[in-house]
């Protein structure tokens, strides 16, 4: 027979809530300058990329790329915003999210070109020696 005191060592003690360290005021200003410089670099370089998460898959995309994903609920020709941006970068820099990059830093939009259908799957059923065949 186990008592509650014997199970105590199996679980860990709850950790006290810790606050993230606050940056000194001087480094906060530097952080804003870095974001400003990165935004200027993005505007200069046409070849920037983003890694986005759509429908359970990750895609590395650049400007005017065409990707094939599973069907999503949107009309053909409509613009959608891809919220799950994992990283953004170019030749000179890379921003990596932990786990995602916030919407304030990077926004990725896409246009739905078409909805496609796969060829019809033929299901063939047969019971041997019973003279039973069926095709759907």
Q: What is the pLDDT of residues 23-64, one digit of tens each?
A: 556 655 666 777 787 777 767 766 789 999 998 899 999 988
For the four alpha carbons of 39, 43, 45 and 49, in that order, the dihedral sign comes to positive
**Closest Cα partner for 49 from 6, 87, 100?**
87
Q: How confident is the model at residue 129 (pLDDT cuts 50, 70, 90)?
A: very high
pTM for the structure as a whole = 0.59
As a whole number, the mean pLDDT across the chain is 79
pLDDT score at 14:
52
Query: What is the rounded distance in angstroms from the CA atom of residue 34 to the CA atom of residue 27?
Result: 10
- Which tokens belong to 61? 């995309």
**CA 77, 99, 70, 64 torsion-angle sign:** positive
Position 11 pLDDT exceeds 90: no
- Pick the residue with more confidence: 85 or 18? 85
Assign 99 to helix, strand or coil.
Answer: coil
pLDDT > 70? residue 71 = yes
* DSSP reduced 3-state for 26: helix
Q: How far is the C-alpha of 3 from the C-alpha of 114, rounded, in Å? A: 62
Q: State the pLDDT confidence band at 134, using cuts at 50, 70 and 90.
A: very high
Note the pLDDT of residue 19. Answer: 60
Q: How far apart are CA 113 and CA 66, in angstroms?
A: 9
Q: Please, which pLDDT band fits residue 9 given cuts at 50, 70 and 90?
A: very low
Residue 94 β-bridge partners: 89
Average pLDDT over residues 85-94: 86
Instruction: Decide: 48 and 95 in contact? Cβ < 8 Å.
Output: no
């Amino acid at each position: 027979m186990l008592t509650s005191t014997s199970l105590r060592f199996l679980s860990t003690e709850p950790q006290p809530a810790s606050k993230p360290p606050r940056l000194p005021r001087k480094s906060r200003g530097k952080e804003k300058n870095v974001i400003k410089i990165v935004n200027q670099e993005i505007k200069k370089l046409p070849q920037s990329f983003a890694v986005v998460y759509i429908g359970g898959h990750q895609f590395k995309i650049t400007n005017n790329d065409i990707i094939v994903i599973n069907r999503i609920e949107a009309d053909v020709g409509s613009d959608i915003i891809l919220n799950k941006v994992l990283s953004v970068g170019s030749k000179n820099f890379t921003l990596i999210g932990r786990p995602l990059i916030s919407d304030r830093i990077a926004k990725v939009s896409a246009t739905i070109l078409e909805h496609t259908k796969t060829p019809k799957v033929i299901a063939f059923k047969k019971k041997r020696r019973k003279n039973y065949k069926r095709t759907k």
